[in-house]
A = this chain, B = another copy of it.
Amino acid sequence: MFGIPNITSFEVVALWVILAIAFVALLYALLLRNQIMREDKGAKEMQSVWDGIRVGANTYLRKQLRSILPLIVVLAVVLFLSIYFIPPSSAALLRFKGMTDAEISLIVGIGRALAFVMGAVFSLLVGQLGMRMAVQGSVRVAAASKKGLNYALKLAYRDGTITGMLTNGLGLLGCMVIFMIFGIDSPDVLLGFGLGGTLLALFMRVGGGIYTKAADVGADLVGKVEVGVPEDDPRNAAVVADLVGDNVGDCAGMAADIFESYEVTIVAALILGVALYFTTHQIEWVIFPLLVRGIGVISSIIGTYLVGVGKEKNAMNSINRGFYVSAVISVIGFALVALFYMQEWRAFFSVSAGILLALAINEITKYFTDTRYRPVKDIASASKTGAATLILRGLVVGYEATVWQILAIAGAILAAVLIYWGQGFTFTLYGVAMTGIGMLTLTGNYLGMDSFGPISDNANGLGEMSNMDKESRQSLADLDAVGNTTKAITKGVAIGSAVIAAVALFGSFLTSIALVQQQMGVVSSDTILATGINIASPIIFVGLLIGGAIPWLFSALMINAVAKAAGLMVEEVRRQFKIPGLMEGKVKPDYEKPVAISTIAAQRELITLATFVILTPVVTGLVLGEGALGGFLVGAILSSQLLAVFMATSGGAWDNSKKTIEDGIYGGKGSESHKASVVGDTVGDPLKDTAGPALNPMIKVINMIALIIAPIIIRVSTSNPIAILVGIACVVAIVLAVMYSVRGGFRRTKAGEANF
């Protein structure tokens, strides 16, 4: 059964238990949802603002669905055809059962297409349900603040945990279903599942990032800077769009992002585990990552349930306690599995390395972005000589942080090398994949912490707009501050795990090429696994240069898109402020127009950026060959990691240096120093909330696409006329997409017209 030869009865039971755990996670999410929905929604005036947020959020989700659906259908068909015309590389078991190539193509092709749809739908569900629940939660948290800090904390955190449990449940469910149907033939199908999740995450990140920053920059530049009304002032037309944006960016975007990492790490681990199974004939390598995931879900449920239950005065301590409880339970569980099931410790060490890496990344992120440490203090101090010096200091901080973080990741890879010393390439990569699994063990907790951010942010905003008592306001402000820290921590883990996952996928890329080569009659010692990707070869080096450039172009396009949308937003908000009676509070602004501007801007770039991200590896592979495609992946991984961490860190550090000044040093609010720090914060915003986070899913989409086209490329000669035609068509499409994105539509705008 399960398409796995010689499976033991213990393993059969274990697989069913893991499947059951997936459902437990989903049930727990449902339970939490019902708990939240029973809560009071508070005063009427608060509910009316909140209603604007809810409607705005729903509009965004609906429009997003409508622009994405056609692409999902098209890609599902393409994915089916990709298998239908090029028989699958794996499917050893189906072959063993005597099926013909045509039959296998049909079965695996349908499997891949359906898995793709499932991955996409699950990702959508996590993002959409998570965000809806965040919106539902925020108003209830605001109302609950009357019952004290701990109660509000419990509510906000549990609300966030719903997203975490959806991620755990659906992530595990998806790959368990595929694995239980296809068994050791599942790698080709899992790829579809992975691509569905990553692609949707890319859309959510791109759309969400543009949405949130267009609204934010528009609201701040006109409201705070030009007109001089405070943050979250109801007279500012963009204020609802801004609050919706917090959910769209931090909640839906981050949830889809982490879901995708969660999914991709297990996909990579299973592909590599199956590869190990074929050489060692031990199915343990495949079962182990699934067991680890199951244990992680259980530990997360226990740990997250404890947050806000006690009587602590400090919200952060309560969250941390939940985290450590989960961590300890997990490690004990892993050790038991290693001892009794695996009967060896290497896999345990790999997973533990992942937990250590997550901790190291947390510490690095904290040091470079927390107000308590030297870097942020230095940036704040540089404000004394103006915005320019503050910006330069921030750049230095980001540059330094990205160096330390890449060294931490290099250390984790070296750990995998040492753990599997002398065991060969596939084992090491398996170790890297397990490190990724380890990092994301406590996804439930991480997402609880992350969604907690926008929930408490929105609750605080709602509280500010309605008249609440002082104590409740203070509780909400405290929660908001804690939310900023927890968001930053999750961001660091998301980036780190993205690179680890990308490295593991890169490894799968090689094993999958080698498999096809062997089927084509290449002797084992001549496959790509044996010969490697020779970066000294000029063509492969060219691939590396192109790949290294991609994240820079992608970032430029993203920042540009925010700029264009923010420009429209600024005009609209300015127009509304001029409406007679608005400033006096007699006329209510039209909140829906800004929401519409952000929503449309966010959708507009989806297709162009998707075209660019999907087709660039295709062109590189078709024109320069599979080796250059390998170089391309390496270059893209390197640049993405360096840029993403730089952007996240500099952005966070500028943000917090502004907060430091607002707390009273160097003249406090309104001083020249403060103005300089606002410039820094505004520069950092699109870096840390738009371009940087979108690089995580981007790098994995590129790797996934490479994995899927690799078998096609090595079968098609690069001098094949059809390949050349397809290559040329792709180049044209990429150029058009980039031009469309840069120019803001195909009409040529006058210089500066489409501007901030």
Contacts and interface: CB of A to CB of B under 8 A. Distances in A.
Contact of A403 (B528, B552, B638, B641): B552
A656 to B, nearest CB: 14
Interface in A313-334: none
B374 A751 contact: yes
Interface in A627-683: 630-631, 634-635, 638-639, 641-642, 646, 678-680, 682-683
A511 to B, nearest CB: 10
Interface of A: 221, 225, 374, 377-378, 380-382, 384-389, 391-393, 395-396, 399-400, 402-403, 406-407, 409-410, 413-414, 416-417, 425, 428-429, 432, 503, 506-507, 510, 528-529, 531-542, 544-546, 548-549, 552-553, 555-556, 559-560, 563, 566, 570, 630-631, 634-635, 638-639, 641-642, 646, 678-680, 682-683, 686, 742, 751-752, 755-756
- The residue in A537, A541, A556 that gathers the most chain B C-beta atoms within 10 A of its C-beta is A541
A510 B416 CA distance: 27
Total copies of the chain: 2
A556 B414 CA distance: 26
A393 B683 CA distance: 10
Contacts of A546: 406-407, 410
B638 A545 contact: yes
Given A403-B556, A570-B385, A534 B537 contact: no
A634 B755 contact: no
A410 B542 contact: yes
A563 B389 contact: yes
B535 A630 contact: yes
Nearest to A376: B751
A395 B553 CA distance: 11
A311 to B, nearest CB: 36
A506 B641 CA distance: 24
A202 to B, nearest CB: 19
A78 to B, nearest CB: 27
A386 B549 CA distance: 29
Contacts of A387: 387-388, 679
Contact of A533 (B395, B535, B639): B535
A407 B734 CA distance: 14
16 contacts: A221-B386, A374-B751, A377-B752, A378-B755, A382-B755, A388-B680, A389-B563, A393-B563, A399-B553, A400-B553, A413-B542, A417-B538, A507-B536, A532-B536, A548-B639, A635-B638
A552 B646 contact: yes
A634 B548 CA distance: 11
A552 B221 CA distance: 32
A634 B534 CA distance: 11
Contact of A535 (B389, B391, B535, B552): B535
A559 B395 contact: yes
Among A388, A429, A531, A538, chain B packs the most CB atoms within 10 A around the CB of A388
Given A402-B552, A635-B638, A538 B432 contact: yes
Contacts of A532: 531-532, 534-537
What are the 3 A-B residue pairs with the smallest beta carbon separation, nearest first?
A: A381-B752, A532-B534, A389-B756
Given A553-B400, A559-B392, A563-B396, A538 B429 contact: yes
Contacts of A683: 388, 391-392, 395
B385 A541 contact: no
Contacts of A417: 538-539, 542
A544 B755 contact: no
B634 A535 contact: yes
A670 B552 CA distance: 34
Given A536-B507, A538-B432, A679-B388, A545 B406 contact: yes
Contacts of A642: 548-549, 552, 639
Contacts of A402: 549, 552
Given A399-B559, A533-B535, 14 more contacts: A221-B389, A392-B563, A392-B756, A393-B755, A396-B556, A400-B552, A403-B552, A406-B545, A407-B545, A425-B537, A532-B532, A533-B536, A544-B634, A638-B639
Nearest to A417: B538
Nearest to A384: B755
Nearest to A566: B389
Contacts of A641: 545
A413 B628 CA distance: 13
Given A391-B679, A406-B545, A549-B403, A385 B755 contact: yes
A410 B546 CA distance: 7
A380 B752 CA distance: 8
Contacts of A545: 406-407, 409-410, 413, 638, 641
Nearest to A570: B385
B552 A388 contact: no
Nearest to A380: B752
A647 to B, nearest CB: 10
Nearest to A388: B682
A304 to B, nearest CB: 34
A549 B407 contact: yes
A386 B225 contact: yes
Contacts of A428: 538
Given A646-B552, A683-B388, A396 B560 contact: yes
Nearest to A635: B638
Nearest to A405: B549
Contacts of A548: 406, 638-639, 642
Nearest to A400: B556
B374 A679 contact: no
